[in-house]
Amino acid sequence: MNLFQPEPRGAHAPRPTLRSVGPQGEVEKGSMSSPVRILGFVNHIAPVPDIEDEIRQAFEWGVDVVVAQGTGSDWGPYWLGSGEQVSANQAANVEPYVRAALQHGVPFVFSLGIAGADVHLETCLRGFDEMCERNGWSPEVGVVRSEIGKDYLAAAVADGPPVVPCSEGAGHQPLTLADVADVERVVALIGPEPVQELLGRGVDGVLTGRALDIGLFMALPMMRGIPTAVAAHAGKLLECGGLALEPGDSGRSVWASLDETGFEVRSPSRHARASVRSLVSHTFYERAHPTLEENPGGTLDLSQATYQETATGIRCEGARWHEAPYTLLLEGARREGFRAVTLLGVREPELLRQARTWTEAAEREVRSAPRFAAHVAAGRLRISTRIFGLDAVLGELEPNEKVTGHEAGVLVDVVAADEELAREAAYFAFIRLFIGPYPGRKTTAGNAAAPIMPVVIPVSAVYTFSIYHLLPLADPVEPFRLGVERFPRAGAVREEAADAAV
Amino acid sequence: MRLYECADIIRSKNAGPFTLTIDLFFGDEERYSIAKGSTLLTVAGVAQAYGVEESRVKGVYFDDRIRAAKVSLLRWSSSTDPFCADMFGAHLHTPLADGELVPARSEGVPE
């Protein structure tokens, strides 16, 4: 059991008690049987226009903690590797929730920054600074930075138990020092424990980098004696906000009240409702297995879970938690090269009939050109042509062998060791496609339409998930940097200027 | 009947970067049992639909309560592949959805 015992509150404890005072002024009792009520949403998606109504409804029912996830690996390794943000302003999405949480004196717990490394979190924290400044708020916030230092990881690989691959689909081997040396950035999906550590200090809220979604939801309930299985089951249903409702919309929120044996889920919006079907189908969502989910420290088992309609929502019970050694999932991105693309449109019937042989000929010419051949042989230059209208989505799985429509798009995708090589190869491919002969050609002035100038578009550096491994941990808090900061932070503007100068 | 016509909702998505999961929801008991009893919604049927080894199919699951099925398989090209065509795995349902729902019990029975 990883049930965290909160430490006595120290100097960082402006609020009289972590146990909340409800909106009607009733003070909850300290027994294990007090329910813990969560308002959940997703903070990387903009809220629906009438979100204030939902929040008001939820707080009328009572809320002990407001929780939202804002990290994930679904967007691929690019963001982790590049340090860029998919959307820079997650703070705007949390503003109405933070206002309500501060008004009612209940903590908020958010993970931020999608890829969730320090650089992403910092971008979001600056948005948080501005939001607090604008509203005249000065919350004391616990911050968990969940990027893992390369020195720390190298020591773990050298001295600790093996850091093994998490997915057989990744084609990885146990982590080596070379993997650590090559990686651009590494994050860990923190469990509930670092959040609990900070909540235990009586902060107004906790902001984290990359985190396990359900861990954010589990943190406070577990501190208040809710069984791990119940907390994890609730977290699984709440982690995508209103997506678990009917109709599903992650711009909406979801509410649940947890006790020792289970929890009730309700829709704070009158435009959506919780149903057995919506909740059970949500337990499937983005999960390989419908009822088993491996988490740090144990597996959530929903094989005997029950869902019962009540007058106000759906009562969920029967989750089990099987203890396992504590491991954290690490994600790391390595730079693979640089991408350049070129795009052509085809409307000529004869060329559409032989679209694939035409692009294959151009690819061959690139690969065999004296200026590129050595780079191709050394793996420094790769080229792929996607024909939209033929097989761009499914690739080799596509059963259609010919273009069946009246036009098609050709995207030449080049990944090379550096930008110059990628651009040169993409340009070479464009020219061969544009003017190269093909059997039965009538269009001798140019084979296709060029919709974008410059014809070669330098896209970006390309990254791969070189680390997707499980790190065994004795202490789930130890690798992370925890702090309590007063927002808006005094040095925020200066730090921004210093970063810009780098 | 093809799976595409049989299912009301066909939800294709990543389950982590390296696994694809396809959730299928059926509108009534009749269509749910046609799908559940088919050769397509088996490990072998899924492997064949995607042209992969059976070992890459992590499972085919059913939930009678909500008339749903789940198919999970390891991705053949994931977001870690520089030429991945579908980062979210949101559009990889068609090879499965195009499959015919043949009753498993009629397999091998001479006509």
Q: Is the ipTM of this complex over 0.85?
A: yes
Q: Among A12-26, A230-244, B49-63, which is the least confidently predicted range?
A: A12-26
- Chain A residues in contact with B82 by the CB 8 A cut-off are 336-337, 339, 382, 415, 462, 464
Mutation for testing the B interface, residue in A281, A308, A329 having most B CBs under 10 Å: A281
The answer for A 386-405 residues in CB contact with B (under 8 A) is 386, 392-397, 399
CB B88 within 8 A of CB A74: yes
Q: Which two tokens stand for residue A87?
A: 């959307």
**Chain B residues within 8 A of A290 when measuring between CB atoms:** 61, 63, 70
Q: How far is A152 from chain B (nearest CA, A)?
A: 24
d(CA A250, CA A238): 10
SS3 content of chain A, % helix, strand, coil (to 5): 35, 25, 40
pLDDT tens-place string over residues A368-407: 999 999 999 999 999 999 999 999 999 999 999 999 999 9
Does the pLDDT at position A13 exceed 80?
no
- Contacts (Cβ under 8 Å, ≥6 apart) of A268: A39, A54, A55, A57, A58, A61, A252, A253, A254, A255
Whether residue A277 lies within 8 A of chain B, CB to CB, comes out as: yes
Mean pLDDT of chain A: 91
Q: Closest-CA residue in chain A for B9?
A: A281
Residues of B in contact with A392 (CB under 8 A): 85
Closest by CA position to A12, among listed A200, A201, A195: A201
Phi, then psi, of A138 in degrees rounded to 5: -140, 65
Contacts of B96 in chain A (CB under 8 A): none
CA A98, distance to chain mean position in Å, is: 21
Q: Is the peptide bond before A165 cis (omega within 30 degrees of 0)?
A: no
Q: Which two tokens stand for residue A430?
A: 């464009």
Interface size between A and B, measured as CB pairs under 8 A: 114
Q: Give the pLDDT band of residue A497 (cuts 50, 70, 90).
A: very low
Find the mean pLDDT for residues A21-47: 70
Asked if A168 is an interface residue toward chain B (Cβ–Cβ < 8 A), one would say: yes
Q: Per residue in A113-138, pLDDT tens? A: 999 999 999 999 999 999 999 999 99
Q: Are A415 and A336 in contact (CB under 8 A)?
A: yes
What pLDDT does A295 receive? 94
pLDDT value of position B105:
74
Query: How much is the average pLDDT of A440-457?
Result: 96
pLDDT in tens, A229-278: 999 999 999 999 999 999 999 999 999 999 999 999 999 999 999 999 99
Question: Chain B contact for A415, CB < 8 A?
Answer: yes
Give the residue carrying structure tokens 């690969």: A367
Strand partners, A411: A343, A386
Work out the number of other CB atoms within 10 angstroms of the CB of residue A256. Answer: 28
Average pLDDT over residues A141-163: 96
Which pLDDT does position A169 carry in this prediction? Answer: 84
Is the pTM higher than 0.80? The answer reads yes
Query: A394 and B75 in contact by Cβ < 8 A?
Result: no
Domain boundaries, chain B: 3-97
Compute CA distances A100 → A91, A241, A441, whole Å: 14, 17, 68
The Cα A171–Cα A173 span in angstroms is 7
Q: What is the mean pLDDT of residues A334-340?
A: 97
The residue-averaged pLDDT of A75-85 equals 95
Q: What is the per-residue pLDDT for A3?
A: 32
